[in-house]
Amino acid sequence: MTSGSTDSTGRSDRTPRRPTGPVRQVPVWAALFLAVSGGLASAVQSAVNADLGERVGHAAVAAVVNTLTGAALVFAGLLAMPSMRTGLRALRTARLPWWAYLGGLGGAGFVLVATYTVPVLGVAVFVIAQVAGNSVGGLAVDRAGLAPVGRLALNGPRVTGALLGVGAVALAQLGRPVGTVTAGVALLAVTGGVAVALQAALNGRVSAAVGAGAGAVVNFGVATPAVLGAAAVLGGFRGLPSAPWPAEWYLYAGGPLGVGIVLVLLLSVRSIGVLRTGLAIVAGQLGGALLLDVLLPGRPGAGVPVLAGTVVTVVAVALSGRRTTGAAAAVRPDGRLVG
> pTM for the full model?
0.76
The confidence score (pLDDT) of residue 33 equals: 93
The reply to whether 7 falls in a domain is no
φ, ψ of residue 314 in degrees (nearest 5): -60, -40
The reply to whether 198 falls in a domain is yes
Among 241, 233, 207, 252, smallest CA distance to 70 is for 252
The confidence score (pLDDT) of residue 298 equals: 64
Among 20, 27, 17, 74, smallest CA distance to 210 is for 20
DSSP letter assigned to residue 335: S
DSSP letter assigned to residue 250: G
Give the number of domains in the chain. 1
The reply to whether 16 falls in a domain is no
Residue 327 φ/ψ region, left for φ over 0, alpha for ψ in the -120 to 50 degree band, beta for the rest: beta
DSSP notation for 30-98 = HHHHHHHHHHHHHHHHHHHHHHHHHHHT-HHHHHHHHHHHHHHHHHHHHHH-HHHHHHHHHHHHH---G
Among 273, 337, 29, 3, smallest CA distance to 134 is for 273
Look up the domain containing 136 and give its range.
Answer: 28-328
CA distance 70 to 68: 5
The confidence score (pLDDT) of residue 225 equals: 92
The confidence score (pLDDT) of residue 3 equals: 44
- CB 317 within 8 Å of CB 32: yes
DSSP notation for 277-327 = HHHHHHHHHHHHHHHHHHHSTTS----HHHHHHHHHHHHHHHHHT--SS-B
The reply to whether 21 falls in a domain is no
End-to-end CA distance of the chain: give it in Å, rounded. Answer: 37
The confidence score (pLDDT) of residue 185 equals: 83
Which segments in the chain show pLDDT lower than 50?
1-22, 324-339
The reply to whether 19 falls in a domain is no
The confidence score (pLDDT) of residue 332 equals: 47
DSSP notation for 206-247 = HHHHH-HHHHHHHHHHHHHHHHHHHHHHTTTTTTGGG-----
Among 284, 67, 104, 307, smallest CA distance to 198 is for 104
The reply to whether 294 falls in a domain is yes
The confidence score (pLDDT) of residue 105 equals: 92
**Residues in contact with 267: Cβ distance below 8 Å, sequence separation at least 6, in sequence order:** 23, 26, 31, 34, 207, 212
The reply to whether 268 falls in a domain is yes
The reply to whether 13 falls in a domain is no
